[in-house]
Amino acid sequence: MKILVVDDEQDVKILFEQRFRKEIKNKEIEFVFAFSGEEALSYLNTNSHEAVLILSDINMPGMSGLDLLGQIKSKFNAPPPLVMMITAYGDKENYDTAMKLGADDFLTKPVDFASLKDKLKEIK
Amino acid sequence: MNSQEEQKQSEKIAGLEKKLAELNIEIQTKNRELEIEAALEKVRVKATAMRTSSELAETSSVLFQQLSDLKINVIRTGVGIFDEANDAMEIWLTTVSDSQEVVRILDYVNLHIHPVYENIIPAREKNKPFAVTELAGNQVKQYYQTMSTYLSLPKHQEYNANEYFYSFFFSKGALNVITKQKLTNEECNIMIRFAQLFGLIYTRFLDLQKAEEQANETLKQTSLDRVRGQIASMRSTEDLKKITPLLWAELKSLKVPFFRCGIFLVDEVEEVAHVYLSAPDGHSLAVLKLSFNANSLTSNVIEYWRNNAIYREHWEGKDFINWTQSMYEQGQIDDKEKYQDAASIPEKMDLHFIPFSNGMLYVSDILPLSDEEIEIVRSLADTFSIAYARYEDFIQLEKAKQSIESTLSELKATQSQLIQSEKMASLGELTAGIAHEIQNPLNFVNNFSEVNEELLNEMKDELLKGKIEEAIVIAEDAIENQKKINHHGKRADAIVKGMLQHSRSSSGQKEPTDINALATEYLRLAYHGLRAKDKSFNATMKTEFDESIPTINVIPQDIGRVILNLITNAFYAVDEKKKSANEVYEPTVTVSTKKINDKVEISVTDNGNGIPEQVKEKIFQPFFTTKPTGQGTGLGLSLSYDIVKAHSGELIAETMEGRGSIFTIILPK
């Protein structure tokens, strides 16, 4: 399973790689990282259908996670990838907007990696 | 010799004698004429030499001396000047005072009072050269008895049998002579000539008097102008002290005699008179504070002042002593001799109080001042009113200044509070952004330490299994994570420190600062702050940094606030445009730095709506804001401007309506 992680924090890459090192080692999960909404879109444009799940931060300079969500849900629909939004601001407004745009899940920072792993198992 | 010849001879002798007699008479007449001419000439010379009107008396006395030299016997002489409108005559006599001869009007007599004078009227009407009235016997006695109540006449033990009252006319008056015998025709003619000459003298006298009046008026005006000039140069209440000595100096230059003077300032609120006594040279003799009813003098002065009237009082030496003693006893003065200001107590003095707007000018002399002198003091008093009004204006001004100064310091206090609240407001805007900024590194710290716990457990397992190679690989990961933990811990620390710096009052200390780092820090803070407040907000942030910029000496938290303010404004501007934009619009805020010669430029560029021309002028004014009420303090740009100025820099706004704005901070390196 290929997961695209979108976050403007570079260290997210190392963190995910460490957190999922067993899964990566066992080739259960493959991670791809994009550090902005724009980068994520260009990745999706060239590698469509590869990523099954997109984990995106909302709060990013330039294109925000919500913008990205909207674009993904409108452009990539055969089949549409799952998009989970992650944000530090777990407020209702962000949640409602994300859900309206078609987010499949909504996680708040700090990410609970145990429950994230459970969710990923369900998807598999 | 025959009788015929004798006869002829005697006729000839008789003819010669007659001729001789005629010649004698002619010579006598000519001599007399020469005498008269000489006498007239003496008077004329004296008259021509008259330089001041006061010399009239002297000239008159020369004239009357000539009469006696010409052996015209008179009992008394005088000059009468007609008061045409009232059928009256001023009678002048010459008197000699200590210093100079003065002309005094001795008497003023109605012509109808006695035939001696009444006869003058028809004689003048008929253009006769003179009028004469003869009094005989009892008439003489009656005249002196009757007239003694009206005129200054000599006292008589016995009376002349006859007296002749002559008035020889000139245009404005008459030479009056009184004789025991009727004057001969010749004497009358002489008197007529003298009267004509006196007419000329009198005309000259009037001209001189007029010139002197004009000169005096000029002198007075010059003097008043000097006082006015001094008043005009008054700049503070202190300057009133310079005016008063000048006042006395001018009184002296206008020849007003006085030996003590002062100013009574009336204070109606406290009902006291503040008295500043001085000598004519201006040196202070005493400062008294007298309540309105302190003594009769003060209460009189106050009463007259209320009526805008001049108050006079005559003092004998004992009055002065009593006054001085009472002032001493009341503790108003502590040195009686200093107060006296002279070797001896004045024998007598006349006190004059001349009112002006806020009090009385006081002058005293050994004699009462004349009306003219009082008039001069009054003019000065009027001028002094102006000075005093100015003085009060200055007091008002100084009060106003003080009140403005205290208002200003209150304002300054308020301003510093406002600056603080502006700081706190922008801090509030930033709090959410800062929370986000801290949250991220904290998440990393937590996550990496959790991961490390797992890794260390795994490492322990591997070591227990004796798999040292595996353990080393895990340890290397753990070390990397540890570095990350440390890095993000420091990052959170820096943010908290930055936040504290922002809220703290400026230390005012300049320190070498990396402008690019400062700009980056505040750009992130501003962005996340706005995002925290408005979830829908988003904008592209661009940085164009000139990496060659050296560290420059600035107060970092102050310049940081300026950058923050400019960026926040830029974000606000692009957000506003985004809300109203129909077409595709990419809100972009660019922060760029550039080194130009010895200066460093920091620019914040937005592609918002720009600033309308009429608003542009006001953007740096305190409390000016285009934001809805409650959303902006209107202090951001104003404070920014002040901060940049305090760094000897410039803050420049360039804008194009509909296209965006560029705010540039230019700082010296």
Beta carbons of A39 and A106 less than 8 angstroms apart: no
- For B222-398, CATH gives 3.30.450.40
Predicted ipTM? 0.85
Beta carbons of B173 and B81 less than 8 angstroms apart: yes
Who has greater pLDDT, B633 or B286?
B286
Whole-angstrom Cα distance, residue B90 to residue B104? Answer: 10
Instruction: Give me the pLDDT at residue B556, please.
Output: 85
Position A63 confidence tier, pLDDT thresholds 50, 70, 90: confident
Residue-wise pLDDT tens digits, B270-305: 899 988 888 888 788 888 899 998 899 999 999 999
The Cα of B597 is separated from the nearest Cα of chain A by a number of Å equal to 33
Instruction: Answer positive or negative: Cα dihedral of A41, A42, A43, A45.
Output: positive
Chain B positions touching A67 (Cβ under 8 A) are 538
Domains of chain A: 2-117 (3.40.50.2300)
B448 has a chain A CB within 8 A of its CB? yes
Whether B28-211 and B222-398 share one fold: the answer is yes
Residue B519, both tokens: 């700009």
Tokens 């006292």 belong to B155
Peptide bond before residue A110 is cis, with ω within 30 degrees of 0: yes
Whole-angstrom Cα distance, residue B248 to residue B278? Answer: 9
Whole-angstrom Cα distance, residue B359 to residue B74? Answer: 56
Whole-number average pLDDT of chain B: 84
Distances in whole angstroms, Cα of residue A86 to Cα of each of A18, B254, B256, B541, B575: 19, 101, 103, 22, 24
Whole-angstrom Cα distance, residue A26 to residue B624? Answer: 63
- Give domain limits for chain B: 28-211, 222-398, 538-669
Taking alpha carbons only, the member of B487, B419, B498, B396 closest to residue A9 is B487
Instruction: Give me the pLDDT at residue B98, please.
Output: 44
Q: Do you know the residue count of chain A?
A: 124
What's at B21, amino acid-wise? A
Beta carbons of B56 and B49 less than 8 angstroms apart: no
Instruction: Give me the pLDDT at residue B313, please.
Output: 93
As to burial, measured by CB atoms within 10 angstroms (0-12 exposed, 13-18 middle, 19+ buried), residue A12 is buried
Mean pLDDT over B420-434 rounds to 65
Percentage of chain B modeled with pLDDT above 90: 24
Q: Do you know the residue count of chain B?
A: 669
Instruction: Give me the pLDDT at residue B104, please.
Output: 58
Beta carbons of B607 and B660 less than 8 angstroms apart: yes
Mean pLDDT over A33-42 rounds to 91
Residue-wise pLDDT tens digits, A78-123: 677 889 998 876 678 788 889 999 899 998 878 888 889 998 888 7
Taking alpha carbons only, the member of B148, B182, B151 closest to residue B165 is B182
Instruction: Give me the pLDDT at residue B506, please.
Output: 59
Cα of first residue to Cα of last residue in chain B, in angstroms, is 152
Residue B421, both tokens: 């609240």
Whole-angstrom Cα distance, residue B663 to residue B258? Answer: 75
Position B501 confidence tier, pLDDT thresholds 50, 70, 90: low
- Homologous superfamily (CATH) of B28-211 is GAF domain (3.30.450.40)
Position B95 confidence tier, pLDDT thresholds 50, 70, 90: very low
B443 has a chain A CB within 8 A of its CB? yes
Buried b (16+ CB within 10 A) or exposed e, B384-414: bbbbbebbeebeeeeeeeeeeeeeeeeeeee
B533 has a chain A CB within 8 A of its CB? no
Chain A residue with CA closest to B587: the answer is A62
pLDDT of residue B599 exceeding 50, the answer is yes
Coil, strand, or helix at residue B288? strand
Secondary structure letter of residue A78 according to DSSP: S
Residue-wise pLDDT tens digits, B105-162: 578 888 998 888 999 999 999 999 999 999 998 898 888 888 877 777 777 778 888 9
Chain B positions touching A21 (Cβ under 8 A) are 477
Secondary structure letter of residue B85 according to DSSP: G
What's at B143, amino acid-wise? Y
Residue-wise pLDDT tens digits, B455-465: 999 999 999 99
Taking alpha carbons only, the member of B379, B359, B374 closest to residue B264 is B359
Instruction: Give me the pLDDT at residue B99, please.
Output: 45
Chain-centroid distance of CA A22 in Å reads 20
What's at B594, amino acid-wise? K
Cα of first residue to Cα of last residue in chain A, in angstroms, is 8
Phi, psi of B354 (to 5 degrees): -110, 125
pLDDT of residue B58 exceeding 70, the answer is yes
Instruction: Give me the pLDDT at residue A13, please.
Output: 92
Beta carbons of B571 and B542 less than 8 angstroms apart: no
Max CA separation in chain B (angstroms): 215
Tokens 């745009």 belong to A101
Gyration radius from chain B CA atoms: 54
Half-sphere exposure of B581 (CA within 13 A, CB side): 16
Mark out chain A residues that contact chain B at CB-CB < 8 A.
9, 11, 14-15, 18-19, 21, 59, 61-64, 67, 88-89, 91, 93-94, 97, 109-111, 113
Position B393 confidence tier, pLDDT thresholds 50, 70, 90: confident
Mean pLDDT over B41-70 rounds to 80
B599-606, strands of its sheet edge to edge:
B540-544, B588-596, B599-606, B660-668, B650-656
Instruction: Give me the pLDDT at residue A108, please.
Output: 84
The Cα of A57 is separated from the nearest Cα of chain B by a number of Å equal to 11
Asked if B535's CB is within 8 angstroms of A93's CB, the reply is yes
Residue B222, both tokens: 């010059």
Coil, strand, or helix at residue B465? coil
pLDDT of residue A37 exceeding 50, the answer is yes
**Continuous segment of H or E residues that includes residue B61:** helix B56-69
Mean pLDDT over A7-24 rounds to 89
Position B236 confidence tier, pLDDT thresholds 50, 70, 90: low
Chain B positions touching A111 (Cβ under 8 A) are 443, 447
pLDDT of residue B634 exceeding 80, the answer is no
Asked if B532's CB is within 8 angstroms of A89's CB, the reply is yes
Taking alpha carbons only, the member of B187, B97, B176, B110 closest to residue B149 is B110
Instruction: Give me the pLDDT at residue B500, please.
Output: 62
Mutate to test the interface with B, among A10, A13, A15 (most CBs of B within 10 A): A15
Chain B residue with CA closest to A62: the answer is B540
The Cα of A63 is separated from the nearest Cα of chain B by a number of Å equal to 7
pTM of the model: 0.42
pLDDT of residue B628 exceeding 80, the answer is no
Lowest-pLDDT range of B178-192, B395-409, B584-598, B612-626: B612-626
Question: B538-669 has which fold?
Answer: Heat Shock Protein 90 (3.30.565)
Whole-angstrom Cα distance, residue B120 to residue B60? Answer: 21
The Cα of A101 is separated from the nearest Cα of chain B by a number of Å equal to 13
Beta carbons of B78 and B176 less than 8 angstroms apart: yes
How many interface pairs between A and B have CB atoms less than 8 angstroms apart?
59
Instruction: Give me the pLDDT at residue B137, please.
Output: 87
Beta A105-108 vs A82-87: how paired, if at all? parallel
Nearest to A64 among B451, B487, B538 (CB): B538
Whole-angstrom Cα distance, residue B305 to residue B298? Answer: 10
Mean pLDDT over B594-604 rounds to 92
